[in-house]
Amino acid sequence: MRFDSRVLAAALALTTTWMVAVHAADEKAPVDKAKEKGNPMVILSTTMGDIKVELFADKAPGTVQNFIDYTKAGYYDGTIFHRVIPNFMVQGGGLTPDMQDKTAGRKPAIKNESSNGLKNEPGTLAMARTSAPDSATSQFFINVVNNEFLNKEKAQDKVGYAVFGKVVEGMDVVNKIVNVKTTTKGPHQNVPVDAIVIKSARIVEGGGAK
């Protein structure tokens, strides 16, 4: 069987174009994907750099609205990441640099949305809480590894921790935060020696937020 070289060349060109297009789609930045989905995005400007997060309003509507309400109210401004544990997570959003609980502006606890199917994977945001399932208020944490034991399906309490967002830019900042030197301050363990402050939290215009 003889092949027409021109047909073969055209076929190869089409294949190459298709592969390039697929590769480009796969390599699209997470922040661009977030914009396409129309999900709200928030930038946490910290003393160690900016962290941009996508909020999954379709999967965790109540939790996302709670986070947005705190952000719009300026509650997170001036709070710290008060608990950082390598190979686990960084937690913040409720204490001031002098390790005082920020009660002013705190809203009632919200319903736990851990059954939304989202997993505690690297880079995801989830709500911190006490042992009571529906006790989350303002505090959140960012997973730095796959913490599947926090997912509802594998959680010891059969409830788990509700994931509601993911870092789309600034995971390098999160990884720097989780590796800082820590100490014990009063009843709090794993506290950064030098306070890591959330200078501001703001909603990104054009990212689906209003």
pLDDT tens for each residue of 12-54:
565 555 555 555 555 656 666 666 778 999 999 999 999 999 9
Q: By C-alpha distance, which of 92, 51, 84, 116 is closest to 184?
A: 84
pLDDT > 50? residue 179: yes
CB distance 104 to 128 below 8 Å: no
What is the Cα–Cα distance from 101 to 157, expressed in whole angstroms?
26
Say which residue the tokens 């989780």 belong to: 178
Q: What is the pLDDT at residue 38?
A: 81
- CA distance readout (Å), 131 to 27, 157, 159, 167, 174: 40, 9, 10, 26, 26
Q: How far is CA 32 from CA 39, 41, 120, in A?
A: 11, 11, 22
Alpha-carbon distance 40 to 209, whole Å?
4
Q: Is the pTM of this model over 0.85?
A: no
Amino acid in the structure at residue 169: E
pLDDT score of 167 more than 80 = yes
Nearest to 209 by CA among 52, 48, 25: 52
- The pLDDT confidence band at residue 9, using thresholds 50, 70 and 90, is low
Give tens-digit pLDDT for 100-131: 999 999 999 999 999 999 999 999 999 999 99
The more confidently predicted of residues 178 and 22 is 178
The answer, yes or no, to whether residue 172 has pLDDT greater than 80, is yes
